Amino acid sequence: MFSTYIKLRTRVGNGGASDERQWHQGSMASPIFLSNPSPGFSHISIVKGILIALSGIFFQRHVLWRDLKIREFFVTTVLISLLVRLVIEIPHLLGAIVTRLLRLINIDVDFSLILTTITDDILELRWLALVAVYCYMYDSFEYLFMTGLKKLDAESQSEPPYSEYLLRAHTIDIHTTVPSWFPKVDVTLAQKRFLVQLLRSYALICLNTAMLMGITKFGPLGIVLTALYISKWFSHMIGSQLTFVLFLVGLVVPTDFTIKSFASVNLSLLTVKSLLTMPYFQKIRLSDVKIENWIESRIGLIVGFGLFFHLASRHFNMLGLTIVLLEQLALSYMIFKTTSPVQEITDEKWILTQISCPFLFEGLQVTTLTPGFVLIKESLRYDQETPSETPSKFSTPLPSSTNLQNLSEH
Give yes or no for residue 222 having a pLDDT over 70. yes
88-136 pLDDT per residue, tens: 888 888 888 988 888 888 888 888 888 888 888 888 888 989 988 888 8
- Higher-pLDDT residue of 354, 151: 151
Whole-angstrom Cα distance, residue 304 to residue 316? 18
Q: Where are the domains of the chain?
A: 3-28+345-408, 43-338
Q: pTM, whole model, 2 decimals? A: 0.72
Whole-angstrom Cα distance, residue 287 to residue 283? 11
Cβ atoms of 286 and 297 closer than 8 Å:
no
Whole-angstrom Cα distance, residue 191 to residue 173? 11
Instruction: Read off the pLDDT of each residue in 140-157 and give the average, rounded to a whole number.
Output: 87
Instruction: Read off the pLDDT of each residue in 150-163 and give the average, rounded to a whole number.
Output: 75
Whole-angstrom Cα distance, residue 269 to residue 276? 11
3-state class (DSSP) for residue 393: strand
- At 407 the pLDDT is 42
| Lowest mean pLDDT, pick from 184-193, 199-208, 357-366, 397-406 | 357-366
- At 165 the pLDDT is 59
239-270 pLDDT per residue, tens: 888 899 999 999 999 999 999 999 999 999 99
